[in-house]
């Protein structure tokens, strides 16, 4: 049992009221039962603007317990603005223990990355999603996109990828790369780099997606088939780098380009700060 | 003895919900729920079923109770503690409290949702005599590495209803299974086969 003496008083545990949590909890059960389908929910106003992770926060608040250990990442990093402020928020309103170590966390809220270290059974990964509808850029009407999902009419998704090939000679979509979940629903995996798409397939952890502004939530259960859309002659490929991480030397991670001076100097480092640090400690 | 609520409504319901979420995400796994909260001695439902009702129901949900489970004043207890509305026909319900015998009656029709909004469907809350991981039912699909087995006693009516989900997907019924304090779930994405049928196959090919 945790000591709540540091937590802010005057709010319910984890900020949301119980009625709202129950509504989101019922929605999440349906989302898990229909993998990849977007369940509408009554999104609440959170004490931060839309676009900063209000959807993810409402999901985290609904599943989080007092004995859980929480990790929050923003583009793989534990120490960037969005991650720091959301972590501090749940420390204050839920009094939970937080960590930056992927293996120690029970619940991980993420903005646009999946940790490099494979997740284990029992962990919950909560994604912040800006636009949950993968068909939105092709069809602006919600009524139409719902019907397209109902009829499994996904040909336009392949047309979009084909236009990439016609224009660039290869599939140029690099993030929010559409996937098909359990052979049925085409789903937006949130703006994770396509490098992370293979980690969605048969993952051991439960993955929940929350879009606050659009008020949609969806889920990919563990051990679920997740295929990235592609063509036989243009198979799905992930990004590759010519050099290893400049800090830890990893060759199998997603690297961020960091500009080091104004004379063209640059370096590539792991986007997952926890993974990078733990590798450095192993070497040392 | 009366129907009682959670001792600690916030944290007890959160704990119960995580067990519900985990069993729904990994169909065929069985969780043991806490023995509290208490129920009257003549209640026909166990601790897991009552805890599930307290966790998921509120004034936004419509609940249908099968008459054989209404013992001990369950309807009044549920209305008092959650504010849920009790409905007369199962097709109107968000949650339907049933037994396999209820499901054997083909006139009991539940809401399967629509192709456009498959989430607007009835969740079955099933009270069973037996619930374990050894039995003739083989589950495959999302949440299951390989396959899992489930034993539910005399549950053919339940499993044939749930097996029918596959042909209607994404419409369908999701089931939360309870037996005493034990909890499991079979969502509509699960593909169900009976190994009794598989064993019969070699004979048929002769």
- Which residue is associated with the tokens 């509290």? B36
Whether A207 has its CB under 8 Å from any CB of chain B: the answer is no
| pLDDT attached to residue A29 | 98
| pLDDT attached to residue A4 | 53
Which residues touch B47 (CB under 8 Å, ≥6 apart)? B33, B34, B35, B36, B37, B39, B180, B181
Q: Report the C-alpha gap between A95 and A11 in whole angstroms.
A: 11
Q: Are B171 and B68 in contact (CB under 8 A)?
A: no
> How many angstroms separate the first and last alpha carbons of chain B?
60
Contacts of A39 in chain B (CB under 8 A): 119
Q: Are A82 and A74 in contact (CB under 8 A)?
A: yes
| pLDDT attached to residue B1 | 66
pLDDT (mean) for B94-119: 96
Token duo for residue B155: 């549950």
Alpha helices, H only, chain A? 18-33, 54-63, 81-94, 142-150, 155-168, 197-200, 273-283
Nearest-Cα distance to chain A for B120, in Å, is 9
Catalytic residue numbers of A? 36, 245, 248, 270, 276
Q: Report the C-alpha gap between B16 and B4 in whole angstroms.
A: 15
Local confidence band at B41 (pLDDT 50, 70, 90 cut-offs): confident
B72 beta partners: none
8 Å CB contact of B119 and A32:
no
Please name the residues between 1 and 60 in chain A that touch chain B, using a CB distance below 8 Å. 12-13, 18-19, 21-23, 25-35, 37, 39-40
pLDDT (mean) for B72-77: 93
Compare CB distances from A39 to B20, B22, B119 and report the shortest one's residue. Answer: B119
Q: Which residue of A has its CA nearest to B188?
A: A33
Contacts of B58 in chain A (CB under 8 A): 19, 22
Q: Report the C-alpha gap between A239 and A249 in whole angstroms.
A: 17
Q: Are A46 and A20 in contact (CB under 8 A)?
A: no
Contacts of B24 in chain A (CB under 8 A): 29, 32-33
8 Å CB contact of A34 and B123:
no
pLDDT (mean) for B112-124: 97
Token duo for residue A182: 């359990």
Compare CB distances from B56 to A12, A25, A146 and report the shortest one's residue. Answer: A25
**Bond preceding residue B170 cis, omega within 30 of 0:** yes
Minimal CA–CA distance to B181: which of B29, B52, B62? B52
Find the radius of gyration of the CA atoms of chain A: 19
Q: How deeply is A109 buried, as exposed, middle or buried, from its count of CB atoms within 10 A (0-12, 13-18, 19+)? A: buried
B125-143: b (≥16 Cβ within 10 Å) or e: bbbbeebeeebbbbbbbbb
| pLDDT attached to residue B204 | 46
| pLDDT attached to residue B200 | 47
Q: Is the dihedral of CA A168, A170, A176, A177 positive or negative?
A: positive
List per-residue pLDDT tens for chain A, 284 residues long: 455 556 778 899 999 999 999 999 999 999 999 999 999 999 999 999 999 999 999 999 999 999 999 999 999 999 999 999 999 999 999 999 999 999 999 999 999 999 999 999 999 999 999 999 999 999 999 999 999 999 999 999 999 999 999 999 999 999 999 999 999 999 999 999 999 999 999 999 999 999 999 999 999 999 999 999 999 999 999 999 999 999 999 999 999 999 999 999 999 999 999 999 999 998 77
Which residues touch A18 (CB under 8 Å, ≥6 apart)? A12, B9, B10, B13
> How many angstroms separate the first and last alpha carbons of chain A?
36
Local confidence band at B104 (pLDDT 50, 70, 90 cut-offs): very high
pLDDT in tens, A118-170: 999 999 999 999 999 999 999 999 999 999 999 999 999 999 999 999 999 99
Q: How deeply is A193 buried, as exposed, middle or buried, from its count of CB atoms within 10 A (0-12, 13-18, 19+)? A: buried
| pLDDT attached to residue B197 | 54
What is the greatest pairwise CA distance in chain A?
A: 60
| Of the listed ranges A30-44, B89-103, B186-200, the one predicted with least confidence | B186-200
Which residues touch A141 (CB under 8 Å, ≥6 apart)? none
Q: Which residue of B has its CA nearest to A14?
A: B10
Q: Which residue of A has its CA nearest to B58?
A: A19
Nearest-Cα distance to chain A for B131, in Å, is 20
Strand pairing report for B182-186 and B174-179: antiparallel
Q: How many other β-carbons are positioned within 10 Å of the β-carbon of residue A53? A: 29
Local confidence band at B205 (pLDDT 50, 70, 90 cut-offs): very low
Contacts of B20 in chain A (CB under 8 A): 25, 29
8 Å CB contact of B21 and A206:
yes
Which residues touch B49 (CB under 8 Å, ≥6 apart)? B97, B125, B127, B178
């Amino acid at each position: 049992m945790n000591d709540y003496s540091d937590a802010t008083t005057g709010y319910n545990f984890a900020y949301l009221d119980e009625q709202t949590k129950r509504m989101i909890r019922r929605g999440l059960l349906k989302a898990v039962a229909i993998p990849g389908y977007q369940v509408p929910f009554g999104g609440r106003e959170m004490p931060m603007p839309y676009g900063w992770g209000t959807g993810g926060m409402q999901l985290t608040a609904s599943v989080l317990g007092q004995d859980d250990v929480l990790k929050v990442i923003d583009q793989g990093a534990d120490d960037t603005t969005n991650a720091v402020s959301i972590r501090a928020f749940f420390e204050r309103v839920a009094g939970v223990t937080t960590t930056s170590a992927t293996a120690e966390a029970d619940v991980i809220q993420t903005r646009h990355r999946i940790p490099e270290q494979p997740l284990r059974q029992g962990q919950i990964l909560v994604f912040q999603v800006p636009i949950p509808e993968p068909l939105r850029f092709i069809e602006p009407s919600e009524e139409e996109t719902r019907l397209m999902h109902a009829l499994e009419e996904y040909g336009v998704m392949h047309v979009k990828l084909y236009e990439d090939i016609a224009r660039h000679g290869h599939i140029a979509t690099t993030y929010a790369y559409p996937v098909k979940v359990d052979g049925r629903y085409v789903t937006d995996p949130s703006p994770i780099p396509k490098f992370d798409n293979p980690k969605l397939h048969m993952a051991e952890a439960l993955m929940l997606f929350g879009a606050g502004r659009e008020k949609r939530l969806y889920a990919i259960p563990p051990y679920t088939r997740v295929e990235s859309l592609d063509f036989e002659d243009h198979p799905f490929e992930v990004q590759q780098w010519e050099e290893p991480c400049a800090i830890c030397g990893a060759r199998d991670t997603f690297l961020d380009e960091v500009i080091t001076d104004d004379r063209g100097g640059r370096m590539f480092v792991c986007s997952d700060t926890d993974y990078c640090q733990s590798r450095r400690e192993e070497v040392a | 003895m009366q129907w009682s609520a959670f001792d600690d409504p916030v944290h007890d319901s959160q704990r119960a919900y995580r067990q519900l979420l985990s069993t729904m995400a990994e169909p065929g796994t069985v969780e043991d729920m806490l023995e509290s909260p208490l129920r009257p001695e003549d209640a026909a439902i166990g601790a897991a079923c009552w805890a599930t009702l307290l966790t998921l129901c509120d004034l936004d949900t419509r609940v249908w109770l099968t008459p054989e489970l209404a013992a001990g004043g369950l309807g009044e207890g549920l209305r008092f503690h959650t504010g849920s509305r009790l409905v007369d026909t199962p097709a109107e319900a968000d949650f339907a409290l049933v037994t396999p015998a209820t499901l054997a009656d083909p006139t009991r029709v539940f809401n399967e949702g629509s192709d456009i909004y498959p989430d607007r469907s009835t969740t079955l809350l099933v009270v069973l005599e037996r619930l374990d991981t050894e039995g003739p039912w083989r589950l495959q699909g999302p949440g299951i590495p390989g396959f899992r087995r489930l034993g539910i006693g005399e549950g053919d009516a339940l499993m044939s209803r749930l097996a029918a989900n596959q042909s209607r997907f994404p419409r369908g019924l999701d089931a939360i299974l309870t037996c005493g304090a034990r909890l499991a779930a079979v969502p509509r994405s699960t593909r169900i086969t009976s190994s009794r049928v598989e064993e019969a196959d070699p004979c048929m090919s002769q």
